[in-house]
Amino acid sequence: MTQTSLQTTEQLEPGAVLAELPVFPLPNSVFFPGTLLPLHIFEPRYRAMVSHAMEADQRIAIALLKPGFETDYYGAPEVHDVVCIGEIIMFSALPDGRSNLVLRGVGRGRVLEELETPHDFRVMRAKVQGAELVGGEGDTLTRQLATVRQLFSTVVARVPQLQAQESDKIFSPDADPGHVLDAIASTAPAEPVRKQEMLSELNLVKRAELLISVLAEAVADSLTEAHGQV
């Protein structure tokens, strides 16, 4: 087995259009910018996708499949139109052609169109999306972040295996708000469709509202389970 660590770029510039972005659709995983995603690659079409990415810019988008994908899994089932763009930062080739890799999320992308391609894997044109914060929302977001951190601390205390990546940065007072929300959303105990809502929401105040709702429900559920065990 050969393992390679790779150099990567910084976060993608909002508004940039990625002309040919390989897309890896997954049924139950939502990937967020600023987080890491380990993947085991075994299907031939995705082996080809990784090989292509390694020879190009190392970028692969992770997209959540829409319900009903099972009937066309090996075709081109619908995916949600906001994806997370990842860069391969670690690659391990296995002797039988499979591989293990780690993606680092470098930005959100909105799918503009799916392209016709000679490849077995899917390729899309996507526009990089930036965070939005309307004038006057700064104070609201600050209060929301305090609530998010408090709720997340409570959830982690009750479910210790829920540890967000780079948790030291999450609780740093000068941490980037978007990074905090994405890092916690990636770990939050929620169904994929609700995580997709948070990935798709560009406005930081609205994204924080969604995350607060998810975390509050998790706290309530943990209390219910605790009382049921008494």
Specify the CATH number for the domain of residue 75.
Answer: 2.30.130.40
The pLDDT of residue 169 is above 70 = yes
Residues 72 and 169 in one domain: no
Q: Name the domain boundary from 129, 157, 190.
A: 129
Band of residue 206 on the pLDDT scale cut at 50, 70, 90:
very high
Cβ neighbours of 154 (radius 10 Å): 16
Across residues 96-112, what is the average pLDDT? 95
pLDDT of 31 reads: 97
Q: What percent of the chain has pLDDT over 70?
A: 86
Q: How many domains does the chain have?
A: 2
Residue range 83-96, pLDDT digits in tens: 999 999 999 999 99
Residues 15, 117 share a domain: yes
Distances (CA, A) of 96 to 4, 42, 100, 121, 218: 17, 9, 12, 20, 42
Last residue of a domain, one of 63, 98, 129: 129
What's the one-letter identity of residue 122?
Answer: R
Please indicate, yes or no, whether residues 195 and 120 belong to a single structural domain of this protein. no
Instruction: Identify whether residues 111 and 186 lie together within a single domain.
Output: no
Would the pLDDT of 170 be above 50?
A: yes
With 90 as the cut, is the pLDDT of residue 158 above it? no
pLDDT for 135 equals 84
Which of 201, 149, 195 shows the shortest CA–CA distance to 175?
149
Do residues 119 and 186 both lie within one domain?
no
Residues of the domain holding 148: 138-229
Render pLDDT for 139-156 as a digit per residue (tens, 0 to 9).
Answer: 999 999 999 999 999 988
pLDDT band at 171, cuts 50/70/90?
confident
Shared-domain flag, residues 31 and 111: yes
Same domain, 121 and 145: no
Residues 164 and 200 in one domain: yes
3-class SS at 26? strand
pTM of the model as a whole: 0.89
- Single-letter amino acid, residue 188: A
Alpha-carbon gap, residue 182 to 82, rounded angstroms: 14
Residues 68 and 112 in one domain: yes
The pLDDT assigned to 57 comes to 92
Average pLDDT, the chain: 89
Same domain, 16 and 122: yes
Query: Which segments of the chain does DSSP mark as H helices, in order?
Result: 44-55, 138-158, 167-170, 177-187, 192-200, 204-229
Residue 18: the pLDDT is 96
Query: Rounded to an integer, what distance in angstroms lies between the CA atom of residue 137 and that of residue 187?
Result: 25
**Are 170 and 96 members of one domain?**
no
Among residues 129, 150, 178, which one ends one of the domains? 129
| Model confidence at 30: pLDDT above 70 | yes
* Burial environment of residue 73 by CB neighbours within 10 A (0 to 12, 13 to 18, 19 or more): exposed
